Amino acid sequence: MILKVEDLRVKYGQVEVLHGINLTIREGEIVAILGANGAGKSTTLMAISGLVKPSAGRIFLDDFPLHEAPAHEIVNRGVAQVPEGRRVFGTLTVAENLRLGAFSNRNQEQVEQIEARIYELFPVLKQRRDQLAGTLSGGEQQMLAIGRALMAGPKILLLDEPSLGLAPILVKTIFRTIQHINESGMTIVLVEQNARAALKLAHRGYVFEVGRVVLENSAEKLLADPNVQNAYLGGVA
């Protein structure tokens, strides 16, 4: 077990938006988190990465209590998040954005090795390494956001809506790359509106409704579940 979330509760002001979330993520898995807008998926990722503080509950990475740590230490411990909407630094080049992802790594040789690996994963980024990130297409910016997260050398990668706003052909490219990243040994938690694509990629999945986990199963069984099909997959395939 690489990541464990126990009875996670989060409030925005007086309003509780997560009502006791429990998750377990095993090393080397892709785990999909599905649900409608407002179900609490992104808030869960932000709580894991320390961007919002739980009002109750515990989060452990390899038995280390993430819920007690500041966000920068959580990154150093091996958690990297690719936020919804990409959020690259538009006035910096592709190469500068990538190097920012490695800000806490003082091993220059290791940084260069990771950067070379990212350019292998995303050849278009190598071609555009001196181009301003703000001039990239949406798909290229998503590649850059994933690459920037990988520069930290994480143990676990949190992806928040990686296909959002992308053309279908680019979605296939992004999901294929996520699979390659996982095949190299990376553990991935994937929040995704494209439920069918996410479940075809994932090993297991959780379904959220209004801040609660209502279903948990293998991806194969969730794809075959009539309730999941009707709610998230547009009916029986």
Token pair 């979605």: residue: 171
Query: How many angstroms separate the CA atoms of 41 and 35, rounded?
Result: 7
CA angle 163, 22, 161 (to 5 degrees): 5
With tokens 């992806």, the residue in question is: 159
Amino acid 86: pLDDT: 73
Task: Summarize pLDDT for 77-135 with one digit per residue, the tens.
Answer: 999 999 887 789 888 999 999 998 887 777 888 888 899 999 999 999 999 999 999 99
| pLDDT for residue 231 | 84
Place of tokens 């990722």: 45
Provide the whole-model pTM. 0.92
pLDDT at 227 over 90: no
The CA dihedral of 91, 97, 103, 107, to the nearest 10 degrees, is: -140
Categorize the per-residue pLDDT at 234 as very low, low, confident or very high, splitting at 50, 70 and 90: low
* Cα separation, 30 vs 157, whole angstroms: 9
28-87 per-position pLDDT tens digit: 999 999 998 889 999 999 999 999 999 999 999 999 999 999 999 999 999 999 988 778
Q: In what order do the strands lie in the sheet with 15-25?
A: 15-25, 3-12, 56-61, 64-65
The structural domains of the chain, ordered by start, are: 3-232 (3.40.50.300)
The pLDDT of residue 235 is above 60? no
CA-to-CA dists, residue 86 to 128, 178, 180, angstroms: 17, 15, 20
Contact of 31 with 189, CB cutoff 8 Å: yes
The predicted pLDDT at position 59 comes to 98
